[in-house]
Structure 1
Amino acid sequence: MKIVFAGTPEVAVPSLTALAGTDHEIVTVITRADAPLGRKRTLTPSPVALAAAERGYPVLKTNRLDAEATETIRALQPDLGVIVAYGGIVREPLLSVPRLGWINLHFSLLPRWRGASPVQRAVIAGDELIGAAVFQLVPELDAGDVFGSFSRPLGVHSTSGILLDELSHSGAELLLRVVGELAAGTAVAVPQTGEVTLAPKLTRDDARINFDQPAASVYSRIRGVTPEPGAFTTVNGAVLKLLEVAPSGDEPNLPAGTVLQRDTPVLVGTQTEPLVLLRVQPAGKTAMTANDWWRGVAAESVIAL
């Protein structure tokens, strides 16, 4: 088949790599425009743009799949469009341009967590299962019939960044299977069933940690917003990024939001048992162990967040 591939971040690269190893022809790769990154705000191609360039694929960089992009894609006469975390909406008439339409690899167990941040929302919510689905793209958000899916236990310690990396590889295998079935004419899609929940893009407010909640909820939120947008709190009015935390086990309770060092661990209180701070990053400084940070700020033994 002739395939148009659309994707932008690193999690889309394994799918592009998997398709590159088949007999299908990738006629173009669509990705978002170069974005300013780093302190110097240097314009940088997306991970998918770089991966496509390495393989010599034509690349269309656009943040909007408008009429011009539609005509460019139409001229290629693709059989199938494939989307993995592109970051833009495909509307008609582009939806109908490929002979078989568009399929989307989505990192959730649809219809749970339709939207931009499914893995992050699943972790924050404390879901027991996580997974991915390949579905037919339709005008309604992530609502199309599903060609295939898989699930696995979410686990209690993984961050959303780790989970997304894992799912990007296992999801690429699922995507490859569905593409093969579509090429052979054996693919079967079934309607989504179950309660619909939404996963809007995370904001900075989602990453602000409220310690006046049970430890399990605080721990889930920190893992869910790691590495992006990045968990944070404030200490004496200054932002403190929380890079790594862990359950404390049998440590006695502390008042919510109170930091205290007992022997080696630096603890922070929640509504229930405390959590252990392992790695943090104070404003304007590099990442460091919580013990090193504590030695620099602990004029008293307790600081309220």
Structure 2
Amino acid sequence: MRVVFMGTPAFAVPSLTALAREHEVALVVTRPDAVRSRGKRLEPSPVKEAALELGLPVLETARMTPEALEALRDAAADIFCVAAYGCILPDAVLTMAPLGCVNVHASLLPRWRGAAPIQRAILAGDEVAGVSIMRIGHGVDTGAYCAQASTPVGEKGADELTRDLAELGGALLARTLPTIAAGSAVWTEQDEALVTHAAKIAKAELWLDPEADAPANARRVRASSDAAPARCQVGGRAVRAVRARAVESGEGAPLPAQGTYAVAGKRVLLGCAAGALELIEVKPDGKRQMGAAAWAAGLRDKQGTWGPLS
């Protein structure tokens, strides 16, 4: 099958590579080089890097200009496949290919429509997450879907779960395209009564807070990222929690009271509304990532108060 692929971040790369193995990728469309790290240098998107390694033609564009539309028409694709491209597609694109335009969405629709389905699934304590192959329409992730696959969330953080779902989505996309071409794919309209929305994560949502219970704070740590880190202040020092776990027992010592912390041996415990959050890996402001015990060795007091950033 002749395919145009549109995608930008690392999540989209497994979909591109899976398509390239089993189908003819006529064109790869991705967003232009941008500043993607602290180096302040222009860097290619992960999809562009993967496409060039595969020897595939690449079109870089942030919007569907007349030139971009002409390139899409010239590709003469049977279907357009999208995975986190980051650009709203006009009707001219949605109807250009004979088999239409399908998207790899990182949720089990109709749950978690929107920009941050993976983080929202973690924050909500979902036991499973998944991917859906869906038609692209005018609404945000409102189209019918024809295939889904799931994986347990467990204790996975956002990065690990994103990688798992990316691989799952790529395999599902490549496997599903022949059924779409054959007309045997079964399309399911989304039940509006079951819809939940995955709004973009605001940084303050992931700040740790003694008013929340320990499991909720642990989920914030797992859902965090460089763009929205799980931060708090401990003994007056701002710090990012990179890895943490909820504990219900001090394992021989009493848990600290809500809003207080205790350094007990090599353990750093933050008292929550219920239980405590044990910090395992942290990143102090302006410093490298380190074990929580090593960081706590620099605290003036081994007991004190902690809370959200002011």
Q: Structure 1 length as normaliser, TM-score?
A: 0.94
Code of the residue aligned with 1:5 in structure 2: it is F
**Counterpart for residue 109 of structure 1:** 108
**Counterpart for residue 56 of structure 2:** 57
**Counterpart for residue 247 of structure 2:** 248
Q: Does 1:134 align with 2:136?
A: no
Instruction: Report the CA distance between 1:88 and its aligned residue.
Output: 1.7
Following superposition of structure 1 onto structure 2, how do residues 1-305 of structure 1 map, counting pairs within 5 Å? 1-22=1-22, 24-155=23-154, 157-193=155-191, 194-226=193-225, 228-235=227-234, 238-251=237-250, 252-305=254-307
Judging changes above 3 Å, is the alpha-carbon distance between structure 1 residues 271 and 66 closer, same or farther for their aligned structure 2 residues?
farther
Range that drifts further, 193-202 or 142-151: 193-202
What is the CA deviation profile of residues 154-200 of structure 1, one whole-angstrom value per residue up to 9, with x for unaligned ones? 22x11111111111112211111111212333222111124111112
Range that drifts further, 200-209 or 3-12: 200-209
The DSSP-based 3-state class of the residue aligned with 1:177 is helix
What is the CA deviation profile of residues 46-104 of structure 1, one whole-angstrom value per residue up to 9, with x for unaligned ones? 11100001111111112223443223212222210101111221121211111111101
Paired-residue identity, %:
37
Contact kept in structure 2, 1:211 and 1:269, CA below 8 Å? yes
The DSSP-based 3-state class of the residue aligned with 1:271 is coil
Instruction: Report the CA distance between 1:230 and its aligned residue.
Output: 2.0
What is the CA deviation profile of residues 240-289 of structure 1, one whole-angstrom value per residue up to 9, with x for unaligned ones? 11100012241234233322112321101110000110111111110111
Contact kept in structure 2, 1:161 and 1:227, CA below 8 Å? no
Judging changes above 3 Å, is the alpha-carbon distance between structure 1 residues 235 and 11 closer, same or farther for their aligned structure 2 residues?
same
Range that drifts further, 66-75 or 140-149: 66-75
Aligned residues: 303
Instruction: Report the CA distance between 1:208 and its aligned residue.
Output: 1.9
Code of the residue aligned with 2:294 in structure 1: it is D
Contact kept in structure 1, 2:118 and 2:129, CA below 8 Å? yes
What is the CA deviation profile of residues 111-147 of structure 1, one whole-angstrom value per residue up to 9, with x for unaligned ones? 1100111011010011122111101111111111111
Aligned-residue CA RMSD (Å):
1.7
Looking at structure 2, the residues matched to 70 and 76 of structure 1 have their Cα atoms a distance apart, in angstroms, of: 10
Contact kept in structure 1, 2:73 and 2:96, CA below 8 Å? yes
Looking at structure 1, the residues matched to 49 and 40 of structure 2 have their Cα atoms a distance apart, in angstroms, of: 18
**Which stretches in structure 2 are left out of the alignment for 5+ residues?**
none
Q: Structure 2 length as normaliser, TM-score?
A: 0.92
Looking at structure 2, the residues matched to 224 and 31 of structure 1 have their Cα atoms a distance apart, in angstroms, of: 26
The DSSP-based 3-state class of the residue aligned with 1:268 is strand
Code of the residue aligned with 2:134 in structure 1: it is F
Contact kept in structure 2, 1:159 and 1:226, CA below 8 Å? no
**Which stretches in structure 1 are left out of the alignment for 5+ residues?**
none
Looking at structure 2, the residues matched to 303 and 29 of structure 1 have their Cα atoms a distance apart, in angstroms, of: 52
